[in-house]
Amino acid sequence: MTPGARVAAAIAVLDIIRDGAPAERALTNWARGARYAGSGDRAAVRDHVFAVLRCWSSCAVRGGGADGRALLIGALREAGVDPGALFTGRGHDPAPLSAAERASGRAPTHEEARDMPGWLWPRFAASLGEAEAEAAARALRHRAPITLRVNARRLTRSAAANRLAEEGIATRPVDGVDTALQVTDGERRIAASAPYRTGEVELQDAASQSAMAALDVADGARVLDYCAGGGGKTLALAARCEASWFAHDAVPRRMADLPARADRAGVRVQLCEMSRLPAQPPFDMVLCDVPCSGSGTWRRAPETKWRLTERDLEAFAARQHGILSQAAALVAPGGVLVYCTCSVLAEENEAVIDRFTTDHPSWRAARRQRWPICDTADGFFLQQLVRGTGPATPA
């Protein structure tokens, strides 16, 4: 595909997304119908689409419209590329720019350049503080870092970096996170690389790694990852602690790959069904990485930033409180309940904890930590809660 043909494909995908289709599904369906497109073409189309999704508001302003064509024109102008060089009408390139399109568009205002829904900005700023919120909004307009977690059971970080370099994957250590390597080149080689296939490294954001490193797990403890998903946090904990590991998710298929990944990593994780959890003896630690808005990770799924509503945010908070209350019944007296989100919004973090401790006075809020959205990590929130030593009370 020519560069212009890639732009034309991205325009078509964006119009499908504008009509309500999820971005990943729209891209997958396009790729299935474009058998002629090689891996480089698919990556380029994806990059165009995600560049717009991260900066939808400012792209629309610069392009002078809200359809896929105008959005791509705006994205190219944002990148300092003359759209006329790609909108040629030759072959599969988009049709040439009209006189109106050439004259359209303007520089975005400061508010428009934040690329944040208007209703959401006051909440975002109140949660982070004005200065940090501005920095976070700028970071969300760019690609997310790709970070690997080194399995400390297998090798050192420097050894992992050398092994990756042998396969054409360049990395650099992330300051303050002993197991983290940020990928600087060759990211598309990761999945096929020997270190990844053998469990020496796993994909995991640096903030998530740092949060798991902040948890103290006693040898021999029973630890339940209550909202396990793919199980990355369980594997991160198991790489540095000798304990009994259990994983549960409300949608069990999300854990389908976990047994194989755990085996590669050299640990054993027991999968638990929800109906059987109450029969398990109490756990010393229960980790709840709850569903949330994902506001700390909007670089990775930017369409959710534009589709989130106030009602959605209220529903997330209610669900988070419910999950935390359910999980609390599984913690042994004196045990620890860990609440975490990849959100930076106070409604999903501090407010949920305040409500929980009010409703459950036998619980005490302990360590709390927030990680900002930055060049090396996503936004993340962690709260540890300690149960009193009285008998467990069902939620």
Q: Are 85 and 15 in a shared domain?
A: yes
**Predicted pLDDT of residue 392:** 44
**Predicted pLDDT of residue 393:** 42
Contacts of 251 (CB under 8 A, 6+ apart): none
Q: Are 196 and 230 in a shared domain?
A: no
Q: Are 225 and 181 in a shared domain?
A: no
Q: In this structure, what DSSP letter does residue 367 have?
A: E
Q: Are 250 and 339 in a shared domain?
A: yes
Strand ranges for 273-329 from DSSP E: 283-289
Burial class (CB in 10 A: 0-12, 13-18, 19+), 56: buried
Distance separating the N- and C-terminal Cα atoms of the chain: 58
Question: Residue 376: helix, strand or coil by DSSP?
Answer: coil
Q: Are 187 and 212 in a shared domain?
A: no
Q: Are 88 and 216 in a shared domain?
A: no
Provide the domain limits for residue 238.
207-387
Q: What is the pTM of this model?
A: 0.92
**Predicted pLDDT of residue 273:** 81
Q: Is 272 a catalytic residue?
A: no
**Predicted pLDDT of residue 245:** 95
One-letter amino acid identity for 266?
G
Q: Tell which residue, 275, 238, 241, has the closest CA to residue 259.
A: 238
One digit per residue, pLDDT tens: the chain, 395 residues?
999 999 999 999 999 999 999 999 999 999 999 888 998 999 999 999 999 999 999 999 999 999 999 999 999 999 999 999 999 999 999 999 999 999 999 999 999 999 999 999 999 999 999 999 999 999 999 999 999 999 998 999 999 999 999 999 999 999 999 999 999 999 999 999 999 999 999 999 999 999 999 999 999 999 999 999 999 999 999 998 899 999 999 999 999 999 999 998 889 999 988 777 666 679 999 999 999 999 999 999 999 999 999 999 999 999 999 999 999 999 999 999 999 999 999 999 999 999 999 999 999 999 999 999 999 999 999 999 998 765 444 43
Q: Are 71 and 32 in a shared domain?
A: yes
**Predicted pLDDT of residue 280:** 67
Q: How many domains does the chain have?
A: 3
Question: Residue 317: helix, strand or coil by DSSP?
Answer: helix
Q: Give the domain-ending residue among 169, 203, 237.
A: 203
Region of residue 2 (left: phi > 0; alpha: psi -120 to 50; beta: else): beta
Give ∠ CA 172-216-179 in degrees, rounded to 5.
10
Residue 178 maps to which CATH number?
Answer: 3.30.70.1170
One-letter amino acid identity for 86?
L
| Number of helical (H) and strand (E) elements in the chain, helices listed first | 17, 11
> Per the residue annotation, which of 55, 272, 342, 374 is the catalytic one?
342
Q: Are 53 and 33 in a shared domain?
A: yes
Cα(147)–Cα(299) distance, rounded to whole angstroms?
Answer: 14
